[in-house]
Chains A and B, each alone.
Chain A
């Protein structure tokens, strides 16, 4: 992984030396320093740092103004406000200006390290989730389907990033909301015949009432979603994924909208018929520190 980049905004060369040493120890590459708002304005566009340490008092203005400028020009940069002052009012103002964390001078190394870790934990967790969610849900679905001996095999896999697509339902859909450090949602869709076949095998019955089919499909979604989220939580407990109860949609004229969030679709072929799954997550907000 490449080094995270930092920018130090401070008008005291003593503070800059201390911050430089702390950041380098944490593995950051210091790509620029600024001592004034004019300096920030000049450097921020080329810098695009991952982290900015922001002194609240600068020679030609304050850190609030500089923070607003950074939010505007480099919205992905995380700003850590630093000041000798620390009261409710200034913290509130820093937060409003776009800072994600606030730390008081003199800087305690342990506190500094812990805040930096937390600031970037969300980022790392999102990367971990993005890299693994699809495989986890696919494995969960395949593993569960194996119980029914329907020989599932992958027909297609497709990522949907920014454009919205729609998919005509085959007849019945289950959705599960996923809530955690980053949130998402799962949709599984199939025909009535497919779910009836699976339910018959699961319940060991030759005839099935409609309510039994619906109840089974709810449980089907719950198991696939729940098992996949447990699998992802074992990668990192910080994900804290939980599933909401299933909602089942049934109808001849039903269209599923996908792509409001970054998601991946999977189509499986099986002896019971085709099974469609779409799963996606959205990056959660940063927590204030």
Chain B
């Protein structure tokens, strides 16, 4: 596992989440996944090209996604994943990945990112068509956020 591919994302999560209203961000663990894995909840994926090429997939369970959207909207209650919450989560994935790309460039790796695609549901199988997917799990004020990085 090449830490140079992981650290920019760790830096992005620990740097950005406090700026949008979260206080305790801890890294729970790093694991290697196969190219296909199962998730439930909200999934946001962005394409990356440049010196490194691949995808990053953020996944959060549905309750966690609603809590994140609510915090991003100054505590406005979110019962359903409505348009505003979807837009907030989409923007979060964009901010995190854009920040990671700045962290990459500080390491001399230049990458550009695409617009996010958001999907949600139960028992979704995700296939990234890369043999090694590195998953970084974070606990963000009790919400589990997984960042799956498939780059080479």
Taking Cβ atoms with an 8 Å cutoff, the residues of A that contact B are 163-164, 169, 173, 175-180, 183-185, 187, 214-215, 218, 242-257, 260-261, 280-282
Does B119 lie within 8 Å of A185, measured CB to CB? Answer: no
Q: Which of B2-10, B83-91, B136-144 contacts A (4 or more CB under 8 A)?
A: B83-91
**Residues in A whose Cβ lies below 8 Å from that of B130:** 245
**A-B pairs with CB below 8 Å: how many?**
128
Chain A at the B interface: SS class: strand
Within 8 A of A (CB), among B100-152: 112-130, 150
Does B53 lie within 8 Å of A245, measured CB to CB? Answer: yes
Pick the contact of A247 from B57, B86, B121 — CB < 8 Å?
B57
Q: How many residues of B contact A (CB 8 A)?
A: 36
Q: Which of B11-19, B21-29, B42-50, B66-74 contacts A (4 or more CB under 8 A)?
A: B42-50
Does B123 lie within 8 Å of A248, measured CB to CB? Answer: no
User: B64 near A: Cβ within 8 Å?
Assistant: no
Does A244 lie within 8 Å of B121, measured CB to CB? Answer: no
List 10 tightest A-B contacts by C-beta distance, closest first.
A177-B47, A244-B47, A177-B114, A257-B118, A248-B127, A251-B124, A254-B121, A253-B121, A164-B83, A175-B117
Provide a sorted-by-A list of 9 A–B residue pairs whose CB atoms are within 8 angstroms: A179-B50, A179-B112, A187-B117, A214-B127, A245-B128, A247-B128, A248-B128, A252-B123, A260-B116
CA–CA, A214 to B130, complex, Å?
A: 13
Chain B at the A interface: SS class: strand
Can you name 8 extra interface pairs (CB under 8 A) apart from A177-B48, A260-B116? A175-B117, A179-B113, A243-B47, A247-B126, A257-B90, A257-B120, A260-B86, A261-B115
CA–CA, A7 to B54, complex, Å?
A: 44
B52 vs chain A, min Cβ distance (A) = 11
Does A173 lie within 8 Å of B121, measured CB to CB? Answer: no
Does B115 lie within 8 Å of A185, measured CB to CB? Answer: yes
CA–CA, A154 to B128, complex, Å?
A: 30
Instruction: Closest A residue to B43 by CB, please name it.
Output: A249
Does B49 lie within 8 Å of A244, measured CB to CB? Answer: yes
**Residues in B whose Cβ lies below 8 Å from that of A281:** 115
CA–CA, A187 to B115, complex, Å?
A: 12
**Considering residues B54, B113, B119, B126, which has the most beta carbons from chain A within 10 angstroms of its beta carbon?**
B119
CA–CA, A185 to B129, complex, Å?
A: 18
**Considering residues A164, A180, A252, A257, which has the most beta carbons from chain B within 10 angstroms of its beta carbon?**
A257
Given the interface pairs A254-B119, A255-B120, A255-B121, the reply to whether A177 lies near B127 with Cβ below 8 Å is no
**Residues in A whose Cβ lies below 8 Å from that of B54:** 244-245
**Residues in B whose Cβ lies below 8 Å from that of A257:** 86, 90, 117-120
